[in-house]
Amino acid sequence: MLRASLLLLVLLVLTGCSGDWGWYVVDPTTKKGMTNLRFLISGLYYTVLLSVTAIVISIVLGLLVALPGLSKNRFLRGFNRVYVELVRAVPILVMILWVYYGMPQLLNITITVFWAGVIALALSDSAFEAEIFRAGIQSIDKGQYEASHTVALNYVDTMRFIILPQAIRRILPALGNQLVYMLKMSSLVSVIGMQELTRKANELVVTEYRPLEIYTVLLLEYLVLILIVSAGVRWLERRLQTTDRST
Amino acid sequence: MQQQAQQIIQMREVSKFFGSFQALNSVSIDVQLGERVVVCGPSGSGKSTLIRCINQLEIHDSGSIVIDGTTLDGSKQSLRAIHANVGMVFQQFNLFPHLTVLENLTLGPVRSGQQSKSQAQELAMNYLERVRIPEQANKYPAQLSGGQQQRVAIARSLCMEPKIMLFDEPTSALDPEMINEVLDVMVELAESGMTMVCVTHEMGFARRVADKMVFMDFGAIVEMSDTAKFFEAPESERCQEFLQQILPH
Ligand SMILES: Nc1ncnc2c1ncn2[C@@H]1O[C@H](COP(=O)(O)OP(=O)(O)OP(=O)(O)O)[C@@H](O)[C@H]1O
Ligand SMILES: [Mg+2]
C-alpha cells in the first residue's frame, strides 16, 4: 500500500514533466524544485508534533471525562453528558478560532499558535475519546470488577491493572482512527498561521502559482503519513493480541 | 459468649431487595471458624445473593452481618475486614484474561501491600502446586481448560490468605469430566481446616465435607441442619422434594 503510493508519486512526477502539468516546481532534479519540495515537507514536523501532542492530551482528557460518566452518581454522569454534548457541538474550525482569538482575551493571557492549535484539537477530540473510553470500559464483564474486589484491589488499581488494559485493547482500532482524524484536522490550524503541511503548501502556491502540482504533493504527503500511521496501529494491535488471549 | 468468639460469620435477619423483589428474606446464619457449610436450593432461591452479601458484592438492606467481629456497614474498616478474611470463587472463574496465571495470583497480594513481589510469587507457586498446576504458571487463562482455570481461581483466592472461602457453584460451568479435579481440590481445602460456605448441587461432595447443610427457597432458609440429618431426615416437604429431584435414586 505504502509502496504503491510512493510509486504513484514517482509516476505523477515523471508523466507530469511531459504534459501540461508544471512539475518543474517540485522537480527534485533541479535546484529550485528541490528547494520547493524541502519547503513543503518541512511542514511535516509541526503537523506530526501538533497531532501527536493533541492526541495524547485528548486521550487523557477523554479518559478523565469518561470515568465520571460510568459513576453511579447522577451529578458526575451529568457532568459527562454536558461536556460531551457541548464540546461535540463545536465545529473544529470554530474551536480553533475561538481558542486563538477569543480565549486569550477572556483569560487575559497570550497563547502561541502551536498551543492554541493543540488545545483546540485536543478539546474537540476529547469528547469523542470520552465516548470511546466509556463504551470500551462498559464492554468489560462485571465479573472482572467482582474478582478485583475479592483480591482487595481498590478502585484506582482495578481500573489501572484490570479494566483499562482490557478496554484499551478493545478500543485500539477506534483510537487509531482518532489519530488519523487528528492528523487530517491539524490542517485546519493553518488558518491561524501554524507552519504545518497545509500552510506551507498555501504559501508556496502564492509565490509559484502552481496549485495543481503543489496541492497534489500536499495530498500525497497526507496520504503517505496516514498510511504509515495506519500500518503502525495495525502492528500494535497484532502485538497486543498475542498477549491477550481472552475470547 | 465463648462460642461467639469463634463465630467468624454471623448473619442476623438479613434482607435484600432488588427493586421491589425480595431476594433474601430475613436470613440468619452462623458459621464457626473451620466449619463447612453447603447451601442448596432451586434456581432463583437467593443462594448467590446470600453469599455475595457476605463479601458485600451485594449490599444488604436490613439485618446485620458480622465478619470476624466487624460489622459490615460500608465503612473502610468493614471493607478491610472483608479483604482480610473473605475469598471467593465464581461460577464463571472471572480470571483476568490479559494476565498470566502467575500474575493473576500475585496482583492482589502485591497491590494490597501484604507481600513483596518475590514473596507473592513464591506463595503463588506453592498454591499452584496445591491445586496441581504449577507448570501452567506462565500461561494465559484462555490457554487452560475450564477445570484448570477454576483451580487457578481457587489458588488466586487462597493467595490472599483468607479465613473464609466462598464458592458460588464452582463446578456448574464445567464439563463433567473436569468437575472432579475441582472438587478434589475443594475437599483437600476442607480437610486443611478452611472455613467454607459453598453453593453447590454436588451432593456427593456435600455429604463428604459439609458440617452443616442449608436449603433455601424464595429467599429464605427453609432448612438448616447437620449434614447427616439433612440427608436422612429432612423436615420440610420442599426440601424432601428438592433432594429427591437432584439425588440419584
Ligand atoms: N442484580 C440483580 N437485579 C435484580 N434481580 C436480581 C439481581 N440478582 C439476583 N436477582 C434476583 O434475585 C433472585 C435470587 O437470585 P440469586 O442469584 O441469589 O439466586 P440463586 O439461588 O443463586 O439462583 P441460581 O441457582 O440460578 O444461581 C432471582 O430471582 C434473581 O432474578
Ligand atoms: Mg446463583
CA of B52 to the centre of ligand 1 (A): 11
Quickly count: other Cβ atoms within 10 Å of residue B148's Cβ. Answer: 21
> What residue's CA is closest to ligand 1, atom 16?
B46
CA of A127 to the centre of ligand 2 (A): 39
Q: pLDDT tens-digit profile of B184-209?
A: 999 999 999 999 999 999 999 999 99
* Closest chain A C-alpha to B211 CA, distance in angstroms: 25
Domains of chain A: 1-43+197-247 (no CATH), 45-194 (1.10.3720.10)
> What residue's CA is closest to ligand 1, atom 6?
B18
> What residue's CA is closest to ligand 1, atom 17?
B48
pLDDT at B53 over 50: yes
Q: Which of B22, B27, B39, B47 to mutate to test the pocket of ligand 1 (most atoms within 8 A of CB)?
A: B47
Shortest CB distance from B96 goes to which of A144, A149, A169? Answer: A144
Nearest Cα to A137, choosing from A216, A78, A70?
A70
pLDDT given at position B248: 73
The residue type found at A160 is R
Q: pLDDT tens-digit profile of B36-47?
A: 999 999 999 999
Contact A153 B107 (CB under 8 A): yes
pLDDT given at position A8: 67
pLDDT at A26 over 70: yes
Hey, is the C-beta of B233 within 8 angstroms of any chain A C-beta?
A: no
Scanning chain A, the segments in alpha helix (DSSP H) are: 2-18, 31-41, 44-69, 74-89, 92-97, 103-107, 113-138, 142-150, 155-157, 164-185, 197-208, 211-243
Reported confidence tier of residue B164, pLDDT bands at 50, 70, 90: very high
The CA-based dihedral angle spanning residues A13, A16, A18, A23, taken in that order and rounded to the nearest 10 degrees: -70
Hey, is the C-beta of B76 within 8 angstroms of any chain A C-beta?
A: no
pLDDT given at position A239: 85
pLDDT at B92 over 50: yes
Establish, for the pair of chains A and B, how many residue pairs have beta carbons separated by less than 8 Å: 66
State the residue for C-alpha cell 484499551. Answer: A168
Q: Stretch A122-130: mean pLDDT, rounded?
A: 96
ipTM: 0.94
- Going along chain B, which residue ranges are E strands? 7-18, 21-32, 36-40, 62-67, 70-71, 86-89, 164-168, 195-199, 212-217, 220-226
pTM of the complete model:
0.88
Q: Is A156 helix (H, G, I), strand (E, B) or coil?
A: helix
Q: pLDDT tens-digit profile of A127-165?
A: 999 999 999 999 999 999 999 999 999 999 999 999 999
pLDDT given at position A241: 74
Rounded CA separation A28/A32 (Å): 8
Q: Which residues of A touch B (CB under 8 A)?
A: 141, 143-144, 146-147, 149-153, 157, 161-162, 165-166, 169, 243-247
Rounded CA separation A153/A161 (Å): 9
pLDDT given at position B85: 93
Q: Which of B14, B48, B52, B201 to mutate to test the pocket of ligand 1 (most atoms within 8 A of CB)?
A: B48
Rounded CA separation A99/A102 (Å): 6
pLDDT given at position B166: 98
pLDDT at B5 over 70: no
User: Is residue B200 lining ligand 1, measured as CB closer than 6 Å?
Assistant: no
Please work out, in degrees rounded to the nearest 5, the angle formed at the alpha carbon of residue B130 by the alpha carbons of B157 and B120: 55
> Taking all residues of chain A, what is their mean pLDDT, rounded to a whole number?
90
